[in-house]
């Protein structure tokens, strides 16, 4: 059992998970590895209340046939349910070009964010929570409303699996547009590097909180983006505008680090002031750091 537990914990390692090809497998292994690390489950139970039968109709899924009723009546009836969903969550995933960055042996910010989104979706749906997905760059590229059926997980994973980094970022415009689609308050999860107009971003984040949504922010950064530990003359290229800058990194390293600390600290400070859960994630971090924040936030809601 101890060996199995150690193996499952390895599934929280981004470098290990990145070697797998199936996004569904990645999500499942990350969640299983995370569960091994929990001493007790903070999940709240779910209820599925049986309501009634109806006669089988052409096109209905055979898995929904009540075979016990068939054994007694020799007639096909479909089971119907009324699901009580514990939570409605909305995942917003930034897929702009800046998210494609990676340094050294680290995976890209986008690959990390995709796996995190898949794992969160897997976790939510397998506890009967509803989850929706918004994929955006400078506009909304895909919107999937929250649902809680296990079949819906495949739809989410299918859309995540084909994501490619593209276009510039316009987080505020995309989130404002998506906010109009939210008819029932819930848990809003935003995954981005937030390399954008910060004033506009903070304004829309506060709007989500003001409208009584619980909000979790995951700012995903590559370790090199925090340290700027480049050792040689280098040409730096903006992944979204294509602009280039040739410089000696050590000459601007101190100023860069100070600016980055101020950038992340401002996001954190503004989020805390608006009761938004802010989390800085590096692409070298095990996935349990983000999943634990989600579980802690969810447990406070019930």
- Give the sheet arrangement for strand 130-136, strand by strand: 140-147, 130-136, 88-94, 187-192, 214-221, 277-282
Burial of 133 (0-12, 13-18, 19+ CB in 10 A): buried
Mean pLDDT of 29-53: 58
Specify the pLDDT at position 143.
95
- For 23-46, letters b (16+ CB in 10 Å) and e give bbebbbbbbbbbebeeeeeebeee
β-pair partners for 129: none
Give whichever of 59-63, 85-89, 200-204, 240-244 has the largest mean pLDDT.
200-204
pLDDT by residue (tens digit) across 127-186?
889 999 999 999 999 999 999 999 999 999 999 999 999 878 889 999 999 888 888 889
Mean pLDDT of 11-34: 93
pLDDT by residue (tens digit) across 248-286?
555 667 888 888 899 999 999 999 999 999 999 999 999
Placement of tokens 């702009």 in the chain: 96
The mean pLDDT of the chain is 83
Band (pLDDT 50/70/90 cuts) for residue 100 is very high
Band (pLDDT 50/70/90 cuts) for residue 50 is very low
Specify the pLDDT at position 183.
82
**Eight-class DSSP state of 106:** P
Rounded to 10 degrees, the C-alpha dihedral 23/25/28/32 comes to: -130
CA–CA dist 195, 168 (Å, integer): 10
Specify the pLDDT at position 191.
98
- The answer to whether the CB of 145 falls within 8 A of the CB of 101 is no
Taking 60 as the threshold, does the pLDDT of residue 5 lie above it?
no
CA–CA dist 139, 48 (Å, integer): 37
Specify the pLDDT at position 44.
35
Which sequence spans correspond to the domains of the chain?
47-84, 88-300
Taking 50 as the threshold, does the pLDDT of residue 83 lie above it?
no
Cα–Cα distance list, 201 to 194, 206, 234, 271 (Å):
8, 9, 30, 11
Q: Under 8 Å CB-to-CB from 262, ≥6 apart: which residues? A: none
CA–CA dist 117, 27 (Å, integer): 8
Token reading at 187: 């848990």
Specify the pLDDT at position 166.
84
Specify the pLDDT at position 234.
53
pLDDT by residue (tens digit) across 57-69?
777 777 778 787 7
Taking 70 as the threshold, does the pLDDT of residue 233 lie above it?
no
Taking 50 as the threshold, does the pLDDT of residue 51 lie above it?
no
Q: Under 8 Å CB-to-CB from 270, ≥6 apart: which residues? A: 202, 205, 206, 276
Taking 90 as the threshold, does the pLDDT of residue 192 lie above it?
yes
CA–CA dist 131, 149 (Å, integer): 9
Tell me how far apart the terminal alpha carbons of the chain are, to the nearest angstrom: 32
Q: State the pTM of this model.
A: 0.79
CA–CA dist 203, 247 (Å, integer): 34
- The answer to whether the CB of 268 falls within 8 A of the CB of 281 is no
Taking 60 as the threshold, does the pLDDT of residue 30 lie above it?
yes
CA–CA dist 278, 219 (Å, integer): 8
What is 88-300's CATH superfamily? von Willebrand factor, type A domain (3.40.50.410)
Taking 50 as the threshold, does the pLDDT of residue 45 lie above it?
no
Specify the pLDDT at position 206.
93
Mean pLDDT of 16-41: 84
Q: Return the number of other C-beta atoms located less than 10 Å from residue 203's C-beta.
A: 14
Percent above pLDDT 90 for the chain:
54
């Amino acid at each position: 059992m101890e060996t199995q537990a150690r193996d499952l914990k390895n599934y929280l390692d981004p470098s290990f998970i990145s070697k797998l090809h199936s996004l569904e497998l990645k999500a499942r292994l990350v969640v299983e590895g995370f569960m091994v690390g929990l001493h007790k489950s903070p999940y709240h139970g779910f209820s599925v209340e049986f309501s009634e039968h109806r006669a089988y109709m052409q096109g209905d899924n055979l898995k929904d046939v009540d075979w016990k009723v068939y054994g007694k009546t020799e007639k096909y009836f479909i089971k119907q349910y009324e699901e009580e969903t514990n939570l409605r969550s909305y995942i917003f995933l930034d897929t702009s070009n800046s998210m494609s960055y990676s340094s050294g042996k680290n995976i890209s910010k986008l690959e990390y964010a995709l796996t995190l989104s898949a794992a969160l979706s897997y976790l939510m749906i397998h506890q009967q929570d509803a989850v929706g997905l918004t994929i955006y760059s400078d506009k909304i590229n895909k919107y999937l409303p929250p649902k809680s059926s296990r079949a819906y997980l495949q739809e989410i994973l299918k859309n995540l699996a084909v994501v490619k980094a593209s276009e510039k970022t316009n987080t505020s415009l995309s989130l404002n547009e998506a906010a109009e689609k939210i008819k029932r308050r819930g848990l809003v999860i935003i995954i981005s590097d937030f390399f954008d107009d910060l004033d506009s971003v903070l304004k829309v984040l506060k709007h989500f909180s003001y409208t009584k949504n619980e909000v979790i922010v995951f700012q995903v950064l590559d370790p090199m983006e925090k340290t700027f530990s480049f050792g040689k003359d280098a040409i730096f290229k903006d992944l979204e505008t294509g602009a280039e800058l040739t410089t000696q990194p050590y000459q601007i390293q101190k100023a860069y680090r100070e600016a980055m600390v101020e950038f992340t600290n401002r996001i954190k400070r503004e989020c805390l002031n608006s009761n938004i859960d802010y989390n800085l994630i590096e692409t070298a971090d095990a996935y349990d750091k983000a999943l634990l924040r989600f579980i802690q936030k969810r447990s406070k809601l019930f």
